[in-house]
């Protein structure tokens, strides 16, 4: 990735504003109250009175920012260090070696890099794997087709411990995501376990990102401005930084300063729909660095393929009617994946396509 592809070059009105502010960072939330509950309660947020302040912090962050940072989150540092080391080993290999497990329209999981794909958008290389193996998804994009197919992960021969490191880390992410979703449920006035039913047969996945140094950072983005389509994202980033969030209060881009061993959490489109826009998914992007490479590991929490995403009945009424029509997550998700390999004739599917007109 030693040159800038013309596809990276944007028209002036679409070029990134490089002057993101760091004056007011996203909220930082200490999750230690979760681990000081009464004996026997550590596996679930089952004592809301003991964590009332934490629940309020989560709710405020989701409403005001759509993003927040967590510390004292309970994820063992050695598990994170292991997957980070394995990721660095994997990406340090030759393109020929990495592309032995490259993804395609049939094998949608595995490795890809933006210099060797037709649909060039971002300055990075990636390795994707799903939490559940196999992961069940719709067999086709036809609305009435009820058949399912299975996605399997592709694992490289080197480094030899990458698979085990990824699988161990994935379980830690699932555990943390469950706790966060319980806190979010409580912040919305719902029972703590309200969302648990959606995670059976989940389609969650993890992405290992490598952003090489970019010789022309003013012409490229690590990841262009976007919102996450799923439920929740849990991001581990290194000390190089580059993540920027669009602040809701004024539309300014805010740089997320790296904090050692922390995680960055953001609300996805599905929570926006479930909460009937009480909480909103927020735009974010990644800036590239001209001198340093950057690594990050996002975990994308997604529901089962058969989930019909719609505003929760408990959060809608005559005064606050549902703002979205129901849509099938599996069809939505596979449509997005399909767009990685085929140029679409129309705009890619978005949640606002399902918004009810006022």
Bridge partners, residue 296, by sequence = 209, 237
Mean pLDDT, the chain, integer: 87
What distances in angstroms separate CA 187 from CA 19, 27, 62, 213, one per listed residue? 34, 16, 9, 41
Confidence band for 347, pLDDT divided at 50, 70 and 90 = low
What distances in angstroms separate CA 151 from CA 100, 109, 113, 211, one per listed residue? 17, 8, 20, 26
Yes or no: say if 126 and 12 are a contact pair by the CB < 8 Å rule: no
pLDDT at 119 over 60: no
Confidence band for 9, pLDDT divided at 50, 70 and 90 = very low
Could you give the CA distance from residue 317 to residue 216 in angstroms, rounded to a whole number? 52
Q: Name the residue among 135, 56, 27, 72 with its Cα closest to residue 48.
A: 56
Please write the tens of the pLDDT for every residue from 27-79: 999 999 998 854 444 455 655 567 999 999 999 999 999 999 999 999 999 99
For the residues 328-343, what does the mean pLDDT come to? 80
Could you give the CA distance from residue 208 to residue 298 in angstroms, rounded to a whole number? 7
Q: Which residue has the higher pLDDT, 341 or 193?
A: 193
Could you give the CA distance from residue 230 to residue 237 in angstroms, rounded to a whole number? 19
Q: Which residue has the higher pLDDT, 42 or 133?
A: 133
Q: What is the pLDDT of residue 223?
A: 82
Q: What is the pLDDT of residue 23?
A: 39
Q: What is the pLDDT of residue 24?
A: 54
Q: What is the pLDDT of residue 19?
A: 45
What distances in angstroms separate CA 44 from CA 53, 101, 132, 181, 191, one per listed residue? 17, 38, 21, 10, 12
Cβ neighbours of 69 (radius 10 Å):
21
Domain boundaries, the chain: 6-354
Could you give the CA distance from residue 206 to residue 79 in angstroms, rounded to a whole number? 14
pLDDT at 341 over 70: no
Q: What is the 3-state secondary structure (H, E, C) of the chain?
A: CCCCCHHHCCCHHHCCCCCCECCCCCCEEECHHHHHCCCCCCCCCCCHHHHHHHHHHHHHHHHHCCEEEEECCCCCHHHHHHHHHHHHHHHCCCHHHHHHHECCCCCCCEEEECCCCCCCCCCCEEEEEECCCCEEEECCCCCCCCCEEEECCCCCCCCCCHHHHHHHHHHHHHHHHHHHHHHHHHHCCCCCCCCHHHHCCECCEEEEEEECCCCCHHHCCCEEEECCCCCEEEEEECCCCCEEEECCCCCCEEECCCCCCCEEEEECHHHHHHCCCCCCCCCEEECCCCCCCEEEEEEEECCECCCEECCCHHHCCCCCCCCECCEEHHHHHHHHHHCCCCCCCCCCCCHHHHECCC
Could you give the CA distance from residue 67 to residue 61 in angstroms, rounded to a whole number? 6
High-pLDDT (> 90) share of the chain, %: 71
Could you give the CA distance from residue 234 to residue 205 in angstroms, rounded to a whole number? 11
Q: Which residue has the higher pLDDT, 352 or 339?
A: 352
Please write the tens of the pLDDT for every residue from 183-239: 999 999 999 999 999 999 999 999 999 999 988 777 777 788 899 999 999 999 999
6-354 to CATH, choices 3.90.550.10, 2.60.120.330, 3.10.180.10, 3.50.50.60: 2.60.120.330
pLDDT at 301 over 90: yes
Confidence band for 15, pLDDT divided at 50, 70 and 90 = very low
For the residues 154-180, what does the mean pLDDT come to? 97
Confidence band for 336, pLDDT divided at 50, 70 and 90 = confident
């Amino acid at each position: 990735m030693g040159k800038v592809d013309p596809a990276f070059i944007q028209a002036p009105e679409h070029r990134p504003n490089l002057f993101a502010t760091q004056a007011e960072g996203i909220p930082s939330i200490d999750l230690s109250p979760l681990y000081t509950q009464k004996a026997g309660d550590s596996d679930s947020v089952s004592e809301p009175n003991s964590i009332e302040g934490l629940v309020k912090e989560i709710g405020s962050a989701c409403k005001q920012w759509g993003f927040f940072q967590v510390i004292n989150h309970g994820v063992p540092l050695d598990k994170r260090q292991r997957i980070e080391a394995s990721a660095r080993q994997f990406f340090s290999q030759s393109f020929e070696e990495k592309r032995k497990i490259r993804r395609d329209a049939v094998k949608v999981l595995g490795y890809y890099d933006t210099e060797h794909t037709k649909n060039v958008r971002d300055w990075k290389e990636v390795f994707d794997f799903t939490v559940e193996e196999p992961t069940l998804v719709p067999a086709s994009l036809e609305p009435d087709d009820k058949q399912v197919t299975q996605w399997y992960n592709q694992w490289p021969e080197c480094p030899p411990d990458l698979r085990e490191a990824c699988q161990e880390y994935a379980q830690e992410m699932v555990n943390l995501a469950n706790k966060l979703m319980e806190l979010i449920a409580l912040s919305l006035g719902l029972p703590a376990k309200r969302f648990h039913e959606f995670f059976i047969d989940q389609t969650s996945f993890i992405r290992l990102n490598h952003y090489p140094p970019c010789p022309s950072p003013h012409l490229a983005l690590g990841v262009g401005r976007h919102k996450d389509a799923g439920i929740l994202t849990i991001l581990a980033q290194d000390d190089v930084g580059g993540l920027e969030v669009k602040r809701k209060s004024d539309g300014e881009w805010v740089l997320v300063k790296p904090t050692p061993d922390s995680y960055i959490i953001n609300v996805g489109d599905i929570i926006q729909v479930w909460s009937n826009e009480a909480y909103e998914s927020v735009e974010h992007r990644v800036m590239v660095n001209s001198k340093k490479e950057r690594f990050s590991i996002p975990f994308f929490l997604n529901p089962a393929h058969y989930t019909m995403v719609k505003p929760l009945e408990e959060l809608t009424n005559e005064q606050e009617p549902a703002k979205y029509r129901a849509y099938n997550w599996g069809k939505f998700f596979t449509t997005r994946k399909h767009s990685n390999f085929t140029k679409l004739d129309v705009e890619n599917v978005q949640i606002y396509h399902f918004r009810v007109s006022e």
